[in-house]
């Protein structure tokens, strides 16, 4: 699985003029399932996301994880994280998991994260989403479970 984390002061997802997910301070997490990913892969990624110390402590150092900071998570599916740009100018997305598998793993990741973080909101899998965010820092972290 792949994930792109952005530390935010606020973020929201709108689908067809309806706010389907919204958080204040925390992490906006874009997630992409890859072929061969499993429930164990999801659990590994959720554990890593939850443990990352990306939030400032009283001394201003990034020493707190999401739960310690009191922050929330907004999880959004994004198959484009599997983009292959090695040839031509049009990215290929065949490296992403099939939609049915990806949806199940997206749901699993969200569930795994809810076991570690108090507030977890989501986008809507497969929908055309408008994502709004205010970056904090900015802090942006790329994770790939193949490299964990």
Residues assigned a catalytic role: 78-80
Calculate the CA dihedral of residues 31, 2, 32, 11 and round it to 10 degrees.
20
Q: How far apart are CA 121 and CA 68, in angstroms?
A: 18
Q: How far apart are CA 129 and CA 144, in angstroms?
A: 23
Q: How far apart are CA 140 and CA 40, in angstroms?
A: 24
Q: How far apart are CA 120 and CA 27, in angstroms?
A: 10
Cβ atoms 47, 93 nearer than 8 A: no
> Angle at which helices 39-51 and 99-114 pack, to 10 degrees?
40
């Amino acid at each position: 699985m792949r994930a792109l984390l952005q530390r935010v002061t606020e973020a929201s997802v709108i689908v067809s003029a309806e706010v389907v997910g919204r958080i204040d301070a925390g992490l906006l997490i874009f997630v992409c399932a890859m072929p061969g990913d499993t429930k164990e892969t999801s659990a590994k990624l959720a554990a890593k996301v939850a443990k990352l110390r990306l939030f400032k402590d009283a001394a201003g150092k990034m020493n707190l994880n999401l739960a310690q900071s009191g922050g929330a998570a907004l999880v959004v599916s994004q198959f484009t994280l599997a983009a292959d740009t090695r040839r031509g100018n049009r990215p290929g997305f065949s490296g992403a998991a099939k939609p049915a598998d990806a949806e199940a793993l997206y749901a699993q990741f969200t569930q795994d994260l809810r076991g570690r973080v108090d507030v977890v909101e989501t986008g809507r899998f497969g929908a055309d989403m408008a994502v709004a965010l205010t970056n904090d820092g900015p802090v942006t972290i790329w994770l790939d479970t193949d490299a964990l």
